[in-house]
Amino acid sequence: MAPPSSLLQGLALLEAAVAQERSGRQGHNASRLSEATGIERSRVSRLTRELRELDYLDRDEAAVLKAGDGYFRAAGALSRPWLRAARESLRVLASTLGVSAQLVAADGPGAILLRTEKGPGVSADYLRPGSLTPIWCTGAGRALLWDHTRESLDALLTDVQFVGVGGPGAARSVDELQELLDRDRESGIIDARDEYVEGVRDFALPIRDQRGIVVSIGISAGTLSQRRVQEAQSAVRGAAAHLSRLVQAS
C-alpha cells in the first residue's frame, strides 16, 4: 500500500486542528496534533509550517494551531450554490445508476477529488475526497483536459511518468492521450475504459464558467449493458449542463 500523500496528511492535520478549536477545548500544538492524527512529529512540523504559509493555519504565542484566514476563505467558496447543488447531483447519479459519482478539480498534472458519492453496494475504496490521481487516466481527470491543445498537453505533462501508471487502457504517451481526447470530443463525452482501474469504466464531462473549465463531473462503474451506457451518458450530460448553468450564474 502506498504511503499517505502530503495532501491527505495536511488535510488530516487541518481537520484535527479545526475540530479541536470548535470543541471549545484547548487547541492543539504540533505535538498534540501528532498524537491526534498518528502522523510523525517531524512531518507534522513541516506540514503545519506549509499550511501556515498558505494561511490555512495560524499559530498563537502559545504555539497553539487554529484556523487561518485561508481556511475561512476556502470554506466560504465551498458554500457557493453550485457546489451545494453538486452534492445533490452526485447523490442522484450514484443512487439512480448504482455507481460512484465524483466532482474533480485540476491540480497541475493531477486531479484532486473534491466530492464523491457511492450508490448502494458500490465499493470504490480508491475514491476518497482529497485524493490525487493522474489527470490523464481517469474519466473525470481527462474531462479537465477537454480544452487543452497539443501544445498545452505537452507543457503540462512534460515530466510525468506514463509507463506503469493506471490501468491497461491508460494512455502511455501524450500522443495516445491526444487520440483518446480527439475520440471523446467527437462523441461528446469522456469514455474511459480500464484507464485507472482495470474493470472500471468512467463517463465524465467538464463544467465551465465564463473563463473556462472549473471542475468536472463523472461516474465510475463496472460492466454496463448498452442500455445502461446510454442512461449513464445521458445522466452525466444532464448533470454537467445543470451545474454549468449554476456556475455561470454565480
Q: In what order do the strands lie in the sheet with 100-107?
A: 132-134, 110-118, 100-107, 212-221, 201-209, 190-193
CATH class of residue range 78-249: alpha beta
CATH class of residue range 6-76: mainly alpha
pLDDT band (50, 70, 90) for residue 223: confident
Q: Output the CA–CA distances (angstroms, integers) from residue 82 to 50, 114, 131, 144, 165, in the order listed.
A: 29, 13, 22, 18, 33
Mean pLDDT: which of 46-50, 93-97, 107-111, 181-185 is highest?
181-185
Write down the domain spans for the chain: 6-76, 78-249
Q: Is the pLDDT of residue 79 over 90?
A: no
The answer to whether 145 and 136 are in contact (CB under 8 A) is yes
Q: Is the pLDDT of residue 124 over 70?
A: no
For residue 3, what pLDDT is reported? Answer: 41
Mean pLDDT of 180-205: 96
- Structure confidence by residue, pLDDT tens digits, 130-181: 677 899 999 999 999 999 999 999 999 998 989 888 899 999 999 999 999 9
> What cell does 177 get?
492521450
Mean pLDDT: which of 67-81, 98-112, 175-189, 218-232 is highest?
175-189
Prediction pTM value? 0.70
Q: Is the pLDDT of residue 86 over 60?
A: yes
